[in-house]
Structure 1
Amino acid sequence: MPSQHPEGIGYGYVIERYVTRKDSGRPRYLDLKSGRVLRPGWPHAERFTRHLIDDAATITDAELEALLGYEWRSRLTAAWLIGAARRVTFRERLGDLLLASDFCFSGSAYCFALARFGTHADAEVLTAYLDHYLPRTDLRYDQPAALGALLHLDDRLGAHRAVRFTQPDGLRDRWVDALAHLRDDAGYTPAEQRRRTDLQCGFADGWTRP
């Protein structure tokens, strides 16, 4: 489905309200993308988090669909709001978007939302993505984020879906070996990717809405 500006379906206001609002002095989507919200001591954390919690609780499904139907900034923001509020009715929609991988950057937010939902169904979505994209050694998409989310869910669910991807000389190793610049990058190890997902979900789990 081609992307469409929310304005075309009567939701033009959602970009400014949810995506580019500046609780930290920078657009929200940039703070979410950069991960600075996870850094201890970030001076804007309280204000940013409070507004994100409120928006996650009050945004309508129609507004979320308007964001998911547009470009990467709006999709990334929508996925964070969906994950924060555990809007599990969007599982299939996020899975379809993740597998399609039409835009850069937003896929890691889909992985966060699926990890936050926390069920076997979400693990299956991530497994399907990795089955499709880890063999594609010519592509650097959201394979690391998906693997981190799956490892997070394996620990949560007592499952072992990620083992066949992470075993020595498995799909993950072959994917990294084909992308030479990633071989010695500690940020792309399974442990580091899982740690990042753990941080994201732990941060969200600690939210409380007044």
Structure 2
Amino acid sequence: MPSQRPEEIGYGHVVKSYVTRTYSGLPRYLVLNGGRFLSPRWWHTARFTRHLINDATAITDEELEALLGYEWRSRLTASWLIGVDRRERFRARIGDLLLASEVCYSGGAYCFALARFGTHADAEILTAYLDRYLPRTDLRYDQPAALGALLRLDAQLGTHYADRFTQPDGLWEQWVNALVHLHDHPGYTPAEQRRWTDLQCDFADGWSRT
């Protein structure tokens, strides 16, 4: 499905309102993509967090659809807002975008949203993604984020969806070994992917409670 500029469908305000708002000179989408807000040492964490929670609550479904139909920055931001507010009615839309993998960078945000929803349906979407893209050892897409989200869901649900991917010489190991620059990289273990997803979701849980 081709992307469409929000202004073409009557939502010209959404990018400025939700995507490019700046914090210490950095637009929101870039802060979300880099994870800077997860560090308590970043001076703007409290303000950034407060604004993110408020926007996740205030943004309408129609505005979210306008962002999801545009480019990667907008899709990334919309998916974070969806995940923070746990708008499970976007599950199918997020799943379709993840499986299509049309644009760069936004896939990790789709995985975050699915991990926040926290159901078997979300685990099945992530499993379908890994079934499709882990065998593609020539591609580095969002396989790490998907595995981390699936491992978190397994822990929460008491399931074992990820086991066949992470077993010795399984699809995860084959994918990492095929990408020479990732081989023996400590950041590409299943445990590290789970840790990163936990960090994102645990922070989001804390924001929601406060």
Q: TM range, normalised to the smaller chain?
A: over 0.9
Q: How far is the alpha carbon of 1:184 from its aligned partner?
A: 1.8
* Aligned counterparts of 1:181 and 1:157: Cα–Cα separation in 2: 33
Matched residue, 2:77: 77
Residue deviations 1:69-128 (CA, integer Å, cap 9, x gap): 000000000000000000000000000000000001000000000000011110000000
Q: Which residue of 2 aligns with 1:127?
A: 127
C-alpha displacement at 1:68, in angstroms?
Answer: 0.2
1:136-162 deviations in Å (ceiling 9; x for gaps): 111110001000000000001111110
Cα RMSD (Å): 1.0
* Moved segments of 4+, more than 4 Å: none
User: Is the Cα contact below 8 Å between 2:84 and 2:208 reproduced in 1?
Assistant: no
Give the aligned residue type for 1:35. Answer: G
Which residue is 1:158 aligned to? 158
Same amino acid, percent of matched pairs: 75
Query: TM-score scaled to structure 1, two decimals?
Result: 0.98
Q: TM-score, normalised by structure 2?
A: 0.98
> By how many angstroms is 1:24 displaced?
3.6
What runs of 5+ residues in structure 2 fail to find an aligned partner?
none
Report deviation, 1:189: 1.0
How far apart are 1:208 and its partner, in Å? 3.8
What residue in structure 1 maps to residue 63 of structure 2?
63
CA shift in 2, pair 1:209/1:52, >3 Å: farther
Given residue 95 of structure 1, which amino acid in structure 2 is its aligned partner?
G
Distance in 2, Cα, partners of 1:208 & 1:132: 33
| Alignment-derived partner of residue 28 in structure 2 | 28
1:53·1:209 contact (CA, 8 Å) conserved in 2? no
* Consecutive unaligned residues in structure 1, runs of 5 or more: none
Distance 1:63 1:202, change over 3 A: same
Q: Mapping of 1:1-210 within 5 angstroms?
A: 1-208=1-208
SS of equivalent to 1:151: helix
Q: Amino acid of the residue matched to residue 126 of structure 2?
A: L
Asked if structure 1 preserves the Cα contact closer than 8 Å seen for 2:71 and 2:103, the reply is yes
Give 2:188's aligned amino acid: Y
Q: How many residues align?
A: 210
